[in-house]
Structure 1
Amino acid sequence: METKKLAKVFKALSNPNRLELYMQIVKHQEASYATGDCLLCEITNSLNIGAPTISHHLKELSNAELIFTERKGRYLVASVNEKMIGEMCELLKLHHES
């Protein structure tokens, strides 16, 4: 993984609220086996963060390629970028082995 891409990932996850949002998306996606999507309204209600702040955090997670978002009707759904998770796991695995 190139260093610029890696820096974006770490920067995106360095904010505690953003990290919590990302972990909630992962948790909700794992729970919805049928679609693999996470309805963001289910998460945002549980976090004590305003809508504009959540929007900013989602944009940062998306720019770091950690998640994908899309509109489905009147709902915004998020899905975890499995490829990025794989790349991060490989990076950590390589670091651990050396």
Structure 2
Amino acid sequence: MSAERAASLASRFRALADPNRLRLVSIISASEGSEACVCDLTEPLGLGQPTVSHHLKVLVDAGILHREKRGVWAYFSLVPGALDHLAGVLAEPQSKLAAADS
């Protein structure tokens, strides 16, 4: 695996390495339509809106969540295939990792 690819993947895994962010991904994926309004995410986590917004921004910046503004609210959904890609990287044999970097 190249150093660039490792750095990119590490930033995505770091984004998921926080319990609150894992819970956000879980809540959003289990929500109707696999999307949730930021207004619906503060209560389940027991965190304030600024803290939840920070965690959501980290997940958006890592390419795990997509953000869509609707009026005054922001709605979040999983980026299609983002989690599958990360899981696939962990399951790839070394020979495929080396070939992907070529």
Both structures adopt the same fold (TM-score exceeding 0.5): yes
Percent identical among aligned pairs is 32
Supply the distance in 2 between the matched residues of 1:56 and 1:9 (Cα, whole angstroms). Answer: 15
What is the SS of the residue equivalent to 1:65? coil
Which residue in 2 is equivalent to 1:40? Answer: 38
SS of the residue aligned with 1:45? helix
| TM-score with structure 1 setting the length | 0.79
Q: Please provide the CA RMSD for this pair.
A: 2.0
State the match for 2:12 in structure 1.
9
Task: Give 1:53 deviation, angstroms.
Answer: 0.7
CA contact under 8 A between 2:41 and 2:52: conserved in structure 1? no
Q: Offset of 1:4 from its aligned partner?
A: 1.6
Aligned letter for 1:17?
N
Whose radius of gyration is greater, 1 or 2? 2
Provide structure 2 residue ranges, at least 5 long, that are not aligned to the other structure.
97-102
The number of residues matched between the two structures is 91
Which runs of 5 or more structure 1 residues have no equivalent in the other structure? none
> Which aligned segments of 4 or more residues in structure 1 are displaced greater than 3 angstroms?
none
Normalization by structure 2: what TM-score? 0.76
State the distance in 2 between where 1:37 and 1:53 align. Answer: 19
Report the Cα offset of residue 66 of structure 1.
Answer: 0.4
Matches of 1:23 and 1:83 in 2, distance apart?
A: 15
Deviation at 1:82, TM superposition (A): 1.4
